[in-house]
Structure 1
Amino acid sequence: MRRTNTPEDSRPGLAPFLAISFVGAWITMIPLWLGGLRRTSAAQGTPPLAALCMILMMLVPALTAFALTARRHGPREAVRVLGLARTTPWRHEVHSAATAITIPLALTTVGLTLATLVGWYTPAHMPGPAAITPLVLSALVSVPLYFGEELGWQGYLLPRLIRHGKFRGLLIGGAIWGAWHVPMTALGGSYPGHSVLLGIPVAIVTAMLLGTVIAAVRLFTGSVWAAVAAHLSLNEFALPLTHDVSGPDHLVDPLLAGPLSISTWPATTLAVLGIWLAYRRRAGYQHPAAQQRSSA
């Protein structure tokens, strides 16, 4: 696994980044709060104003990360520090992104299988080209938005968290990611029709699990773009395909079925456990060598 940044790059700037990102998230949602908008049903669409506010919210982490990094290192060096500069061949970058796209889809498939078995989900048909093509086009257009989040979370925040332990940093980063979504979650953004007292804790647990997986993709591949691909796959493919496969006559409750549902928790928990075991195994391999170097 590759180090995301040097220790020198990981020390300062955590508190300002979190403060600006969280305050910025709430500020971008002010028009929706003042307008009294709240999603009360999964069938309710996203009004243009809500879409605009969410776009602005998603850009806050990247703008904050780049501004803080450029202030310390300069704009050109900020590109390298945040992990934007390509350090591996294009073939590796493309392969990493393609692999990252499949991960949320695989986790969602396992979750939907469980939801079907317990009666929370009813699959009707497999998605065809007519359903997938517009999703691909939407994903291509939306890349800058997911880049806006992941540049902040994986390019800036993650290196500052993992200096206290990689796995612990992954979990903390996922929890922070979930808490950052609260201004939107409280408006019924993730779990429409459910109480805020239920939706927010579920959203934070879900984000901690999925965020850990996405951050691990970043560390394993050494690429912020792979993390962008994983996040994009989650929102642009896994979410809409969940509804498409169920058919127009079935209203899917996102709390019970889909990539953000509790039915995906077992699959994502196993994935997080696998990440923990991978780090334990790697640490076990490195420990004797480290002892040998120290005794030499």
Structure 2
Amino acid sequence: MTVPRPVPPAPQGSAAPTPPLDASVGPERVPWRAVAVFVLVACGLAWLVATPLWTGDGADSPLFAPLAAVMMWTPAAAVLIVTLVLRTPARDRLRALGIRPLRPVRRTLGLTALGLVAPVAVVAATTLLAGALGLVDLDLVGLSGFAAQVEGALPAGTAMPPVGVLLAAQLLAIPFAALVNSLVAFGEEVGWRGWLLPALLPLGTWPALLVSGAVWGLWHAPLVLLGYNFERTDVTGVLLMVGGCVAWGVLLGWLRLRSASLWPAVVAHGSLNAVGALVLLLVAAGHTPDMAVAGPLGLVAWGVLAAVAVVLVATGQLGVRPAPGPATAAVPAPGSPSTPAG
């Protein structure tokens, strides 16, 4: 049940921030029953979809890609259940999920564009930092690793195209691949950032970001335990995925909170999926990078994303108010005595 909650005025002498959309309506408490149902349904369906992989060739199965794409829609299925069956939220569900409206248009489009670019920048910084630290052997001049991959994929007797041109084409295709990937990423994002994050916001902004990110990571377990992402088929792989999703969840969650819209997070998720293999394009021939360290969800990426989070906090972009939308409650302007911590 949602109830109107008035927004206290900003203290005199301070500028009120741009108010989030419909921030005056929200739950007083976390809907724990709905949260439990959402998590159980999303994770249970994920395991059900992945079951054929566990009885076949695992991550090497030709069914892996299509089943992984289907699995990405299991959070959306969980959203349908909690919104239509449990009626949480009870009204204006598209607005509560951040699907509509798109105004203010400039802010929504600007943060969507940032969602397209930011994962590329983070993954590129992760790759270069890992190389600088000696954690991965890169070949940024000869591109020997990428050349070896291309040569191995060409039919016998086929002339080798200029590897630099091929790499440039790969990089230029990232924005288009990101938009295509966003079509599937929507199935996840409508669950994680559309429903779960706002539902947890009564706990505080940071607890909501961290818990929703952890659930996102655990949801990947059916694929991670098959060796996907990190080539670790034990709890270590799951813990690495949880850490990576918590780190990325802060950035994607901030896009959701700052924009009052789901779409910047959807595009950012699609962009992350599109650029995730960058280190494999820049690695030196004969060297296999440890994705748990140098990959987009690995340890170095955690550090880069932590630095991004520090910048967001230091600039007042994160941690001063909950997210917009009817699923959340408004808070006063920063500096008000009644502003909640976190």
Q: TM-score category by the smaller chain?
A: 0.7 to 0.9
* Contact preservation (8 Å) 2:30, 2:199: yes
Q: Distance in 2 between matches of 1:139 and 1:275?
A: 24
**Contact (CA 8 Å) 2:102, 2:108: kept in 1 or not?**
no
- In 2, are the aligned partners of 1:7 and 1:163 still within 8 Å (CA)? no
Instruction: Please report how far the alpha carbon of residue 140 of structure 1 lies from its aligned counterpart in structure 2 after TM superposition.
Output: 3.1
Which of 136, 147, 157 matches 2:196?
Answer: 157
Q: Deviations over 1:40-95 (max 9, x none)?
A: xxxxxx64301111111100111221342234279993222211112414333221
Letter in 1 for 2:208: G
Output the amino acid matched with 2:250: T
Task: Give the length in aligned residue pairs.
Answer: 282
Q: Does 1:143 align with 2:182?
A: yes
Structure 1: unaligned runs, 5 residues or longer: 39-45, 292-296
Indicate whether 1:269 and 2:306 are aligned. Answer: yes
Residues 132-168 of structure 1, C-alpha deviations (whole Å, 9 max, x = no match) = 3444443333222100000011111011111110111
State whether residues 84 and 224 of structure 1, in contact with CA within 8 Å, keep that contact through their aligned partners in structure 2: yes
Structure showing greater Rg: 2
Q: CA deviation at 1:28?
A: 0.9
TM-score by length of 1: 0.83
Structure 2 residue aligned with 1:2, among 11, 20, 31?
Answer: 20
Is it true that 1:288 corresponds to 2:308 in the alignment?
Answer: no
Identical-pair percentage: 28
Equivalent position amino acid for 1:167 in 2: W
Change (3 A) 1:77 1:290: closer
Query: Residue 221 of structure 2 aligns with which residue?
Result: 182
Q: Which segment drifts farther, 115-124 or 3-12?
A: 3-12
Aligned to 1:42: none
Tell me which residue corresponds to 1:201: 239
Q: 1:61 aligns with which of 45, 50, 75?
A: 75
Contact 1:112 1:258 in 2 (8 A): yes
Q: Distance in 2 between matches of 1:229 and 1:271?
A: 18
Q: Which amino acid aligns with 1:55?
A: A
Paired residues of 1:167 and 1:276 also in contact (CA < 8 A): no
- Cα distance in 2 for partners of 1:74, 1:267 equals 35
Residues 77 and 62 of structure 1: CA distance in aligned 2, closer, same or farther (over 3 Å): same
Q: Which residue of 1 aligns with 2:150?
A: none
Relative to 1, partners in 2 of residues 1:280 and 1:150: Cα closer, same or farther, differing over 3 Å? closer
Equivalent in the alignment of 1:294: none
Identify the range of structure 1 (135-144 vs 279-288) with the bigger mean alpha-carbon deviation.
279-288
What's the counterpart of residue 110 of structure 1?
125
Runs of 5+ consecutive residues of structure 2 not aligned to the other structure:
1-18, 142-163, 322-330
Which whole-Å CA distance do the structure 1 matches of 2:183 and 2:305 have between them?
A: 26
* Farther-moved stretch of structure 1 (110-119 vs 227-236): 110-119
Partner of 1:100: 115
What is the CA–CA distance in structure 1 between the aligned matches of 2:274 and 2:257, rounded to whole Å?
23
In 2 relative to 1, CA 102–136 (structure 1 residues): closer, same or farther, beyond 3 Å?
Answer: closer
User: So what's the TM-score if we normalise by structure 2?
Assistant: 0.73
2:49 matched to which residue of 1?
28
What's the RMSD between the two structures over aligned residues?
2.9
Q: Is the 8 A contact 2:178 2:267 kept in 1?
A: no
